[in-house]
Amino acid sequence: MDINKIDEQLKPIETNSNSRSRHYGMMGLALHNDLKDRLKTYSRKINVPMSKIIRTLIISYLDEKEQQLREKGK
């Protein structure tokens, strides 16, 4: 995974500190049909829920980024 390429695609957004998603730890995920279909197909092939794949990717990404920040002393 090229996490630096991912960083280039991320743009900060403002959030509402009183939102339900912040309170409950849930969020919606908008995927274009082709990406949703790819994820769904892969999920079925390996018999793993889509949410678990997404959660695992997020954890992996954050682990790598946090390690980079520690190495830079931030």
pLDDT of residue 29: 85
CA gap 49, 42 in Å, rounded: 10
Within 8 A by CB and 6+ apart from 26, the residues are 20
pLDDT of residue 9: 72
CA gap 17, 25 in Å, rounded: 12
Contact 31, 20 (CB under 8 A): no
pLDDT of residue 13: 63
Rama region for 19: left / alpha / beta (φ>0; ψ in -120 to 50; rest) = beta
pLDDT values of the chain reduced to their tens digit, one per residue, 74 residues: 777 777 777 766 666 666 666 666 777 888 999 999 999 999 999 999 998 999 999 999 999 999 999 999 87
